[in-house]
Amino acid sequence: MKIEAPHISAHNELLLDNHREAFAYLQRQLAQKGLDADKIIEQVSELQTAIPSWALGAGGTRFGRFSGIGEPGSLEQKIEDVGLLHALTRSAGAISLHIPWDIPGDAAAIRAQAAELGLAFDAVNSNTFQDQKGQAHSYKYGSLCHVDDAVRAQAVQHNIEVIETGKALGSKSITVWLADGAAFPGQHNLRHALERTLDSLKKIYAHLPADWKMYIEYKPYEPNFYSTVIQDWGTSYLLATECGPRAFTLVDLGHHLPNTNIEQIVATLMMRGRLGGFHFNDSKYGDDDLTVGSIKPYQLFLIFNELVYGMANNTAGNPPLAWMIDASHNVKDPLEDLLQSLEAIRLAYAQALMIDTDALEEARQANDVTRAQEVLQDAFRTDARPLLREARYRSGAALGPLALYRSLDVRSQLARERGKATIATGL
Ligand SMILES: [Mn+2]
């Protein structure tokens, strides 16, 4: 299924009068603070978030999986789904593949299909947290950190193959997330496990094409509940700096202990030019994979505040960031969920761009703590949604993506085309 321009314009026609009124009001409010709505719209429009191939089907838990209907049963259908999201929002212009769940049979054809929908290939993701059929060695006791040379060599080789797959698609980066860790105290010599991991990462890095980046993701716990080899941003940063200038830390919002100050991590990494990218999601307890902005929208806004500052004051040469959603759950229609996440990401960005930074800095210099908080919260509490709608309208997308998705009854049509019982590859 495809969403065509006439669908969008017929939908926009119905909402346009109300939108224009709301946008004009916001534009005046912003102008009073010396902010240019057009400039914010331009910046917001440039923010493109990659959709991971594993978020397009229902995500399971360790207790069960409840499939939806019309799930994408092939890589082509996953790309078709991302194409729908991008047509509705013009904010999901990339797809991030998981290898081996999504190995393209014909890379050139897949690339052409994506290009036709306006999609690029973002980072490719390796998987050494599961054993694959026919694999010589098991990852039960780790992969890049394993005590056995042969297991480590196999895991390194897999990452190299993932890079090769990415090259054929036009990807420019690989994300390494490891489940490696110890389930119980005593299982690992903690220092040696980290040393072996660094050694393996260096071997992968040695195969990185000159125009590629390697993102090293961290996570404090799960699946191992005693220790994780790359447990935090500091460990990731250490590994990245040891590997070389094209290795970076990747921040996944769900991969922190409760109440961690993630915006501070962002500020520190950008100070060193080592923030590679983001995996967006939201959580209440742990790595919950909830819809972006559904639990802690203020935290997301504060994170974007640091990102905006870091991008505007890029003294350490931090590269452009890779934005990706990393979420998947059991109950919502995945496409509806992703539409909500895409909206939440741009909303937090727009809110951060609406901060009166001069007033904020003035308050800081005067140690006026109350005023500093007021300035931040004024931006957070201003309804930025008209900016997002205007950004979509100007780029040919829908004023109300979710409303249009529902009125076109996209899911039923996908179910008719694909059959009700298709299951997306993944966990
Ligand atoms: Mn992630």
pLDDT at position 68? 83
Residue 6 CA to ligand 1 center (angstroms) comes to: 36
In tens, the pLDDT along 109-162 reads: 999 999 999 999 999 999 999 999 999 999 999 999 999 999 999 999 999 999
Residue 279, beta-bridge partner list:
252, 324
Model confidence, pTM: 0.97
Q: 150: Cβ–Cβ under 8 A, 6 or more apart, which residues?
A: 136, 137
Residue 124 CA to ligand 1 center (angstroms) comes to: 12
pLDDT at position 198? 98
Helix, strand or coil, per DSSP, at residue 151: helix
Residue 279 CA to ligand 1 center (angstroms) comes to: 5
In tens, the pLDDT along 196-215 reads: 999 999 999 999 999 999 99
Instruction: Please state the separation of Cα 405 from the chain's center in Å.
Output: 22
Distance CA(189)–CA(175), nearest Å, equals 26
Tell the residue number behind the tokens 């480590």, with chain if given. Answer: 152
Cβ contact 199:244 at 8 Å: no
Q: Which two tokens stand for residue 372?
A: 């500093």
Cβ contact 132:105 at 8 Å: no
Question: Mind giving me the DSSP string for 23-51?
Answer: HHHHHHHHHHTT--HHHHHHHHHH---EE
The answer, yes or no, to whether residue 423 has pLDDT greater than 80, is no
Residue 68 CA to ligand 1 center (angstroms) comes to: 23
Residue 98 CA to ligand 1 center (angstroms) comes to: 11
Residue 232 CA to ligand 1 center (angstroms) comes to: 13
Helix, strand or coil, per DSSP, at residue 322: strand
Instruction: Please state the separation of Cα 200 from the chain's center in Å.
Output: 25
Residue 372 CA to ligand 1 center (angstroms) comes to: 33
Confidence of residue 426 (pLDDT cuts 50, 70, 90): low
Residue 179 CA to ligand 1 center (angstroms) comes to: 11
Residue 57 CA to ligand 1 center (angstroms) comes to: 16
Residue 175 CA to ligand 1 center (angstroms) comes to: 9
In tens, the pLDDT along 16-57 reads: 999 999 999 999 999 999 999 999 999 999 999 999 999 998
Confidence of residue 420 (pLDDT cuts 50, 70, 90): confident
Residue 264 CA to ligand 1 center (angstroms) comes to: 19
Burial of 153 (0-12, 13-18, 19+ CB in 10 A): middle
Residue 411 CA to ligand 1 center (angstroms) comes to: 26
The answer, yes or no, to whether residue 297 has pLDDT greater than 80, is yes
Task: Give the torsion through C-alpha atoms of 44, 123, 397, 108, to 10 deg.
Answer: 150
Confidence of residue 424 (pLDDT cuts 50, 70, 90): confident
pLDDT at position 425? 66
Q: Dihedral sign, CA of 114, 115, 119, 120?
A: positive
